[in-house]
Amino acid sequence: MTTAREVALDVTTLIRTDGAYANLVLPNAIRAAHLSPRDAGHATDLTYGTQRWRGYLDAILDQCVTGSLRRVDAGVRDLLRLASFELVIRDEPPHIVNEWVMQAKKRFRRATGFVNGILRTVSSRSGAEWRQLIENQGTETSMRATLWSHPQWIVDEYVALVGELEVDELLAANNDPPTPTLIALPGVASIPVGAVATALSPYGFTSPGGSLVAIDGVSEGTVRVQDEGSQLAALTLVGAMPVRSGERWLDLCAGPGGKTAVLAAFAAPASIELVANELQPHRAELVRRSIDPFVDGVTISVMDGRELCAANPGAFDRILVDAPCTGLGALRRRPESRWRKSLDDVPNLVTLQRALLSSALDALSVEGVVAYVTCSPLTAETVDVVQWILSRHPDAIAIDTAPVMTQIAPSLADAARGTAVQLYPHRHHTDAMFVQLIRRTR
């Protein structure tokens, strides 16, 4: 029988070797292993927790390995991290070392003695003792990155955004597993009895407990898991101006389709034409599956968004530009992303973001509105892109976005970032979503 630890190790291997994301591969692995709900929870905690705390765990393991941890076989490193997560972060008793040594015998027989020795060393100190030891090493700046298990460059960017006094709260929020939020799509579903409404989105709620599949509407696709920040991003475009029958809307970078579904729920009853565009065919298929269960009439386009806009000058009244970005706003849900991105990735992404937003403005009708959205708070990907675009598009103006979003979410506070909105996990309990509305004036 496959155990939770085996599933976690299998998925961790896929994350490392195939660039997989835990949220995509872990559910399938759990189903294939026929894990009980309790064991599924254990496998989930192990997988996500180890990705969140990988940097800190590596700092501990470096104290236990002769030489450098980087010289240890990658598969053995995966096992050591998972085991150390249980021992250090979850403070499990030392006897669980035997469970991981058994895993080593199955997969890395020659390394069994090595694994046993390292994990015995890890288990010789409590989590609090390890933290005190690590805190006494290095500079204050490097220790913040180590103790909160974030790459140094991300910590530096966060300090620039929220300041020294607040940055630890933001880093801590990224390591705190989020409570799953769902949306009952407007006009086609209702928040179920017994569910707790979310604080911001009028259509959001948290699970009343039990299996998500058992919630009314989940199987039909009219209720689905969606972060509250993503809900608000789509709702803000809808609320930017009165909805008029016959408008044309465009979701320029639609995959995997969560925001498209929100737009479609408003578009269908108002006889609005909605085009959902996605460059990658497999992601376009995800968009199709996202909306097929509850609405007809959405056009799925598979092409470069810049080319689509060039072929449709002035054709759309509202455009959502949910631009490709570093994704650093979703680190609490996709913790593996923090170890895959680097500062070197940002310039190419910024070039693409500028091109997509510029193209969208060209495809926008006069008095039409674009919502520029990123799941990243980084200045280079957010306010800098908007400022660059406005300096080159005299036909466009930034709309003060916070009042628009506050009409949707009256309890929203501390979210204005100039004319934009910036959500944060530690302030708003959402992904760090950036939203800027822009109007074409002539």
Catalytic annotation, residues = 375
Output the DSSP codes for 279-321: SSHHHHHHHHHHHTTT---PEEE-S-HHHHHHTSTT-EEEEEE
Tokens 């934009």: give the residue. Answer: 420
User: How far, in Å, CA of 85 to CA of 227, rounded?
Assistant: 26
**Rounded to whole angstroms, how far apart are CA atoms 201 and 88?**
37
| Cα gap 434→329, rounded to integer Å | 9
Cα torsion 17, 350, 170, 259: sign: negative
Question: For residues 182 and 169, what is the distance between their CA atoms, to the nearest angstrom?
Answer: 25
CA distances for 108 relative to 32, 54, 168, 379, angstroms: 23, 21, 38, 44
The C-alpha torsion from 72 through 77 and 80 to 82, rounded to 10°, is 170
Query: How many other C-beta atoms are found inside a 10 Å radius of the C-beta of residue 270?
Result: 12
Q: Which helix (H) or strand (E) holds 119?
A: helix 112-123
Q: Which amino acid is at 413?
A: A
Is the link from the previous residue into 242 a cis peptide, with omega within 30 of 0? no
Dihedral (CA of 356, 362, 364, 370) sign: positive
Which residues, including other chains, have CB under 8 Å from residue 199's CB and lie 6 or more apart?
228, 409, 411, 429
Buried b (16+ CB within 10 A) or exposed e, 390-417: beebeebebbebbebbbebbeebeebbb
With residue 173 as reference, give the H or E element that holds it.
helix 164-174
SS3 407: helix
